[in-house]
C-alpha cells in the first residue's frame, strides 16, 4: 500500500465502452492491479457515451473510460447538465479512424478532396456519424473535413451513433461515413466488406489525446487516495500494454464477450500497428495506438484540454469566450497524476503546455488560443 494512505472508497464501479482503448482498464482488472493497490473494482460495459456521462454524473459509476472532449463538455454544461469533472490521466493516444462506405468509393470519393468534388455535384445528401457531440471523434471529423474545404455542419448531415453500432448502421445504409475507435474503425468495416479507411486520426494529429480516466471533481476531492490508487493501477497496466510482446495477449483478453466482443485478430492487427486501408494499401504505422509511451500518454497536458475548448468555440458549442487555461486547470488533475507518476519512477514533463502542429500545417500554440482560432476559414 502506498505511503499516501489507504483508499477512502475501496469498492468501485468503473464504466467503459467496447473499444480497443478500454484495454488499460481491462488489464488493470485482469492482472490484479486494482486489487494490488487496495481496490475492489467492477467493470461495467456501457452502451453509449451518453450512458457513460449520465452514470458518472449521477454517481452510479465512480469513474470511467471517457472521451477527452466529452469530459470538457460535461464540465461546461455543453449540450446537457453541467457537472464539475476531473480527468485523472490520459488512457491512450492515436488509433481512431475515419471510414467511408463502399458506396462512396463507387461514387468516386476515397479521401477528403474527392469527397469535396462529389458533394459539389449535389446528386444526393450525405450522412456522417460521430460518437458524441463534444467527443474526440466529432472533433476529428470536424477538423479533417474542413481541410478539404468541406463544412461539416452545412455540407453534411451529422448524426450520433454509439461505437459498437457503427458497422451495423453502415451495413444498413444509414450513413456514408463515420469516425470511431478500433476495432469498429477500419478493422471491422474492412473485414465485413462495407467500407474502408479514408484517414487515421494519427494522420491528422500525431500522438493526439483520445480517452481519459474520468470522474467527477467531487469524487476526486472526497477520495484523493482512491484516485491515486486508480492512477497507479491503470498506469501499471498502461506500461504492461506498451511493453513489446504483450499486445497479442492484450488483444485476446479484451476480445472477450464481456469486454469488446470482437474477434481477437481484428483487435490485434491495428494494436500491433499493422494497417490496411481496404483499398489495397498496407503499412506499418509507427504512430499506432499507444497507452504509455514513457508517460507521454498518461500525463494530462493542459494544452490538450485547451485544444478541445478551441474547437468547441470554432463550432459554436461554446457560445461565450472562456479562460481556456483556467478551465483546463480545473479539469486535468496534473498535480495528482504527477505525484503518483514520480512515486512510480515515470517521467513527468517539465511543462503542462506544449506546442503541436497538425496535418494541415497549422500550429496549435496554447499561449495564443484566439490567434489559433482566427486561422480557420471554415467555422460555425
Q: Give the CATH number for residue 298.
A: 3.40.190.10
Please give the pLDDT value at position 97.
97
Q: Per the confidence metrics, is the pTM higher than 0.85?
A: yes
Please give the pLDDT value at position 371.
96
Please give the pLDDT value at position 3.
47
Tens-digit pLDDT profile for residues 53-110:
999 999 999 999 999 999 999 999 998 899 999 999 999 999 999 999 999 999 999 9
pLDDT of 22 > 90? The answer is yes
Q: What percent of the chain lies above the pLDDT cut of 70?
A: 99
- Asked, for residue 143, whether it belongs to a domain, the answer is yes
Please give the pLDDT value at position 1.
38
To the nearest whole number, what is the mean pLDDT of the chain? 96
Tens-digit pLDDT profile for residues 124-177:
999 999 999 999 999 999 999 999 999 999 999 999 999 999 999 999 999 999
What distance in Å separates the CA atoms of residue 2 and residue 340, rounded to the nearest whole number? 10
On whether both 140 and 232 belong to a single domain, the answer is: no
- Asked, for residue 364, whether it belongs to a domain, the answer is no
57 neighbors 247 (Cβ within 8 angstroms):
no
Take residue 70 and report the three cell numbers written for it.
Answer: 466529452
On whether both 233 and 173 belong to a single domain, the answer is: no
Alpha carbon separation from 47 to 52, 56, 74, 135, 230 (Å, rounded): 8, 14, 18, 15, 23
- Structural domains in the chain (count): 2
Local confidence band at 352 (pLDDT 50, 70, 90 cut-offs): very high
Local confidence band at 185 (pLDDT 50, 70, 90 cut-offs): confident
What distance in Å separates the CA atoms of residue 255 and residue 262, rounded to the nearest whole number? 5
- Asked, for residue 146, whether it belongs to a domain, the answer is yes
What distance in Å separates the CA atoms of residue 181 and residue 163, rounded to the nearest whole number? 7
* Alpha helices (H) along the chain: 23-30, 33-36, 49-57, 68-76, 102-106, 112-121, 136-147, 166-171, 186-191, 201-204, 217-222, 224-242, 247-254, 264-271, 302-314, 324-331, 334-343, 369-374
Domain that holds residue 140: 96-204
Nearest C-alpha neighbor of 321 from the set 335, 310, 307, 336: 310
Mean pLDDT (whole number) for 8-26: 98
> Can you tell me whether residue 44 is helix, strand or coil?
strand
Residue written as grid cell 493501477: 233
Sign of the CA dihedral 353, 357, 360, 365?
Answer: positive
Local confidence band at 273 (pLDDT 50, 70, 90 cut-offs): very high
On whether both 184 and 37 belong to a single domain, the answer is: no
- Asked, for residue 242, whether it belongs to a domain, the answer is yes
What distance in Å separates the CA atoms of residue 226 and residue 211, rounded to the nearest whole number? 20
Please give the pLDDT value at position 186.
79
- Asked, for residue 55, whether it belongs to a domain, the answer is yes
What distance in Å separates the CA atoms of residue 204 and residue 202, rounded to the nearest whole number? 5
What distance in Å separates the CA atoms of residue 380 and residue 372, rounded to the nearest whole number? 15
What distance in Å separates the CA atoms of residue 349 and residue 136, rounded to the nearest whole number? 23
Local confidence band at 343 (pLDDT 50, 70, 90 cut-offs): very high
Please give the pLDDT value at position 30.
98
Mean pLDDT (whole number) for 333-359: 98
Q: How many CB atoms lie within 10 A of CB 260?
A: 29
Q: What percent of the chain lies above the pLDDT cut of 90?
A: 96
Amino acid at each position: 500500500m502506498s505511503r499516501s494512505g489507504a483508499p477512502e472508497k475501496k469498492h468501485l464501479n468503473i464504466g467503459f465502452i467496447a473499444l480497443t482503448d478500454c484495454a488499460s482498464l481491462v488489464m488493470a482488472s485482469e492482472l490484479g492491479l486494482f486489487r494490488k493497490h487496495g481496490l475492489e473494482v467492477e467493470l461495467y460495459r456501457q452502451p453509449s457515451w451518453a450512458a457513460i456521462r449520465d452514470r458518472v454524473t449521477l454517481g452510479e459509476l465512480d469513474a470511467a473510460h471517457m472521451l477527452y472532449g466529452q469530459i470538457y463538455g460535461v464540465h461546461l454544461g455543453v449540450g446537457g447538465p453541467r457537472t464539475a469533472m476531473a480527468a485523472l490521466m490520459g488512457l491512450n493516444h492515436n488509433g481512431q479512424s475515419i471510414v467511408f462506405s463502399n458506396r462512396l468509393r463507387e461514387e468516386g470519393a476515397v479521401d477528403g478532396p474527392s469527397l469535396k468534388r462529389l458533394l459539389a455535384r449535389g446528386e444526393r445528401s450525405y450522412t456522417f456519424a460521430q460518437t458524441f457531440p463534444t467527443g474526440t471523434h466529432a472533433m476529428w471529423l470536424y477538423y479533417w473535413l474542413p481541410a478539404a474545404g468541406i463544412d461539416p455542419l452545412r455540407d453534411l448531415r451529422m448524426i450520433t451513433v454509439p461505437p459498437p453500432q457503427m458497422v451495423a448502421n453502415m451495413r444498413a445504409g444509414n450513413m456514408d461515413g463515420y469516425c470511431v475507435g478500433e476495432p469498429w474503425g477500419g478493422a471491422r468495416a474492412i473485414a465485413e466488406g462495407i467500407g474502408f479507411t479514408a484517414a487515421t486520426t494519427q494522420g491528422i494529429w500525431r500522438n493526439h489525446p483520445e480517452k481519459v480516466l474520468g470522474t467527477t471533481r467531487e469524487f476526486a476531492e472526497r477520495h484523493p487516495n482512491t484516485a491515486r490508487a486508480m492512477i497507479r493501477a491503470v498506469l501499471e497496466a498502461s506500461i504492461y500494454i506498451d511493453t513489446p510482446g504483450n499486445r497479442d495477449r492484450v488483444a485476446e483478453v479484451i476480445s472477450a464477450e464481456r469486454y469488446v466482443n470482437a474477434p481477437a485478430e481484428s483487435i490485434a492487427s491495428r494494436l500491433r500497428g499493422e494497417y490496411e486501408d481496404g483499398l489495397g494499401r498496407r503499412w506499418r504505422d509507427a504512430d499506432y495506438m499507444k497507452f504509455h509511451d514513457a508517460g507521454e500518454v498518461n500525463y494530462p497536458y493542459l494544452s490538450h484540454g485547451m485544444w478541445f475548448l478551441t474547437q468547441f468555440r470554432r463550432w459554436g458549442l461554446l457560445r461565450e469566450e472562456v479562460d481556456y487555461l483556467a478551465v483546463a486547470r480545473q479539469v486535468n488533475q496534473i498535480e495528482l497524476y504527477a505525484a503518483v507518476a514520480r512515486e512510480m519512477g515515470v517521467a513527468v514533463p517539465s511543462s503542462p503546455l506544449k506546442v503541436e502542429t497538425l496535418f494541415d500545417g497549422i500550429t496549435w500554440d496554447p499561449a495564443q488560443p484566439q490567434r489559433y482560432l482566427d486561422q480557420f476559414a471554415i467555422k460555425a
